Structure 1
Amino acid sequence: MNLSDIPLFSMLRGRMGHLGERQRLIAQNVANSETPGYTPQDLKAYSFQAQMRGVQMTQAGAPARTQAAHLSGTVNRTAAASTFKAVRSKDSETTMDGNSVVLEEEMMKMSEARMAYDAAVGFYQKSLNLLRTAARPPGR
């Protein structure tokens, strides 16, 4: 069994990828805190709707029904594949040389991203342990 076929693990992997990319951008902002004219970057918030763009689709444009008891529905197919795009965002202060990186704000963003990443890793590990327990033969 491939873990990427399980939607929960796929979404957790996407969330961890988003948070890793966010940490990379925040580190880039901190590294350029003395660069004249530098505007910090951040990622758009990770959303459930963005993950639903990657849902397996049928020919009619509805999510694939894997069981007869599932309800049919529709998903907007015009959305592009889920990729992370950096957006320039002004922080609360801009220095005389045009740099708008505020180190305190960047450190807060970094700790927030780190806590969210740790939570996602913990949830991933607990879900994996649950699968291992379910797959174990009785009496072991």
Structure 2
Amino acid sequence: MFQNLDIFKMASGMARHAISRQEVVAKNIANADTPEYRAKDIASFEDTYRADTSNTSLRATRAGHVLESQQNTSDYRLIDTPGASSPNGNTVSLEGEMMKSAQVRHEHDMALAVYKSSMNILRTSLGRK
């Protein structure tokens, strides 16, 4: 009954997305002085989640029903971020990357809050505290 709770899958996906986006932000900051480096970002979790759930032609009802390669959610699409370039052709804005980093932290905290809240609801429904 409690094996496939979608809320936990969604919270896990939100956390993985935040981690992946933080990695991209860190790479952008690390390459802030690299000539011709183009700043990158990852599509929002909402867009990624909708794209994953829009393909409802196959649905796994038990383990092994759908091949694992078809359920790969860890690959996020990198996008170039628009912005003015410096004289050496670099498009990284440190202020913008720091703002993205704060936003990513908020997204990760939200994923943890969803997970904790769901765990509390599940424990309460089972009569445990």
Letter in 1 for 2:24: L
Cα deviation for residue 41 of structure 1 reads 0.8
Assess if the C-alpha contact under 8 Å between 1:53 and 1:80 holds in 2. no
Considering only CA atoms, is the larger Rg found in Structure 1 or Structure 2? 1
Assess if the C-alpha contact under 8 Å between 2:14 and 2:107 holds in 1. no
Write the distance in 2 (CA, Å) between the matches of 1:31 and 1:20. 16
Task: Give deviations 1:19-77, integer Å, cap 9, x for gaps.
Answer: 1100110011001001111001100112241241475836xxxx97xxxxxxxxxxxxx
The aligned counterpart of 2:81 is 89
Write the distance in 2 (CA, Å) between the matches of 1:56 and 1:134. 33
- SS of the equivalent of 1:98 reads coil
- SS of the equivalent of 1:36 reads coil
Matching of residue 41 in structure 1 with residue 33 in structure 2? no
The aligned counterpart of 1:76 is none
Write the distance in 1 (CA, Å) between the matches of 2:31 and 2:92. 8
Q: Which runs of 5+ in 1 are unaligned?
A: 65-78
Q: Which runs of 5+ in 2 are unaligned?
A: 62-69
Letter in 2 for 1:28: K
Which has a greater percent of helix? Answer: 2
Cα deviation for residue 132 of structure 1 reads 1.2
Where do 1:110-121 residues align within 5 Å?
110-121=101-112
The aligned counterpart of 1:19 is 18
Task: Give deviations 1:71-121, integer Å, cap 9, x for gaps.
Answer: xxxxxxxx985431212223x321111111000001111101111110111
Bigger RCO (CA 8 Å, 6+ sep): 2
Write the distance in 1 (CA, Å) between the matches of 2:43 and 2:55. 17
- SS of the equivalent of 1:21 reads helix
